[in-house]
Amino acid sequence: MNKKLLAVAVAGALAAPGAAMAQVTISGIFKVGITAGSIDNASAARANDSELRVDDNSSRILFNASEDLGGGLSAIGQLDLRFAPDQAGVAPASNPIGSGNTYVGLRSTSWGTISLGRWDLHYGKQPDDIATKAGALMASSVSLMDFHAAGTIPVANATRTANVIKWDSPNWGGFQLTAAYSTAPLAAASEADMSTTAAGSKTDSGDGMNLQAQFTAANWQIGASMWDAKAEAGTAATAPWEQDSQAVWGYIRFGGFKVGAAMNVATLQNSAGADISDRTSYTVPASFTTGPHNFYAHYTIADDDDATVAEDGATMIAFAYVYDLSKRTSVGITYAMIDNDDFGRYTPFTGGGLAANGGMLAGEDPTIIQATLRHAF
């Protein structure tokens, strides 16, 4: 990704000569697709089982600031501005300024990085590259790997976690550690501690922890992540109160081929301490690159939920071909299909029109074909 480097004064642009200076890097991605979505085994309650639409694939602009403080220490900050080119003129409440990985922190060459802000934690750790470049984000194995309770409840938000204090170790010969703590991990933006509540509701200060370790060599990687989070409040017996999840993954490269595997185990409990979901998922992603040609695929399984008596698992297959027009621009075509069990409700990641009005109904099988254009700057 090419970047424009702007030298700007952050400690007073009009200050005397010799004032501290910082560097700001501006980069980003425009990624939009034309999606043909359809639903097999559609419920009788569904009025429309197909749609052609334009979908954003997590376009963003990144503003990165850094100031050298001396002695191997730097001040850093990032504004990750997510926007939806397919919704120009609309104010999407789900994409406010800074909704991406946005933080401020200190980075040391000796003890690593400490940051405060919003971060992707735990979810999406499997080595699935189908959304890389111009593959459709909707086809990601996150669709099954990180959604539980028949596909209706995301683990670790399946997006950024707010209110995060995070430490990343230096790279010790390929080995890296991450430890993160959130004061309100399952809240969209605010914290509810010290607030009044309705009779019969249960409240807690809410907190969450993510520990991650991985080792990356020239042609392979192994990693593991642990997530434990409690919501600020819980009132309904079916609402998630606490999440406990573990993920392991790895991949190997040989020539232009990359093959990986991952497993995700999660248990969700309600405010009474009863399990509402206890489920394991698996994925096997693969890719092949030769020159400007990129081929991606994955096969993913969500087991039946042990906390339910219904058959509510699913399988997913996805394929993508991406052609690189340059180092920054690519075009691609993606096919993805989810086969839900009779009571499964898994939906392509981010959903688009397929996620409207509550997403999949029990037993419906969504399919997407997307032509995607991606340009990075």
Structural element, H or E, at residue 143: helix 142-145
- For residue 243, is it within any domain? yes
- For residue 19, is it within any domain? no
- For residue 372, is it within any domain? yes
Residue showing tokens 């400690």: 11
Domain CATH code at residue 243:
2.40.160.10
Q: Which of 15, 243, 289, 82 is nearest to 147 (CA)?
A: 243
- For residue 65, is it within any domain? yes
> How many separate helices (H) and strands (E) can be counted in the chain?
1, 22
- For residue 21, is it within any domain? no
On the question of pLDDT at 179 being above 90, the answer is yes
| Gap between the Cα atoms of 79 and 63, Å rounded | 5
For the segment 122-155, what is each residue's pLDDT rounded down to a tens digit? 999 999 999 999 999 999 999 999 999 999 899 9
For the segment 81-116, what is each residue's pLDDT rounded down to a tens digit? 987 776 554 444 455 677 899 999 999 999 999 999
Measured distance between the N- and C-terminal CA atoms of the chain, rounded to whole angstroms: 6
Look at the alpha carbons of 191, 193, 196, 199 in this order and tell me if their dihedral is positive or negative: positive
- For residue 221, is it within any domain? yes
- For residue 15, is it within any domain? no
For the segment 212-233, what is each residue's pLDDT rounded down to a tens digit? 999 999 999 999 999 999 987 6
Chain centre to alpha carbon of residue 123: 6
Q: Which of 316, 305, 317 is nearest to 276 (CA)?
A: 305
| Gap between the Cα atoms of 52 and 336, Å rounded | 15
Residue showing tokens 């399952």: 186
State how many domains the chain has: 1
For the segment 263-296, what is each residue's pLDDT rounded down to a tens digit? 999 999 987 788 999 999 999 999 999 999 999 9
Average pLDDT in the 239-258 region? 93
Give phi and psi for 292, each to the nearest 5: -85, 0
Give phi and psi for 133, each to the nearest 5: 55, -125
pTM attached to this predicted model:
0.87
- For residue 87, is it within any domain? yes
pLDDT of residue 47: 80
Contact 244, 267 (CB under 8 A): yes
Q: Which of 249, 242, 238 is nearest to 228 (CA)?
A: 242
Secondary structure (3-state) at 227: strand
Enumerate residues 6+ apart whose C-beta is below 8 A from 201.
Answer: 233, 234, 235
Q: What band does 203 get if pLDDT is binned at 50, 70 and 90?
A: low
For the segment 335-363, what is each residue's pLDDT rounded down to a tens digit? 999 999 999 999 999 886 676 545 789 99
Q: Tell me the residue range of the domain where 353 lies.
A: 4-10+30-192+202-376
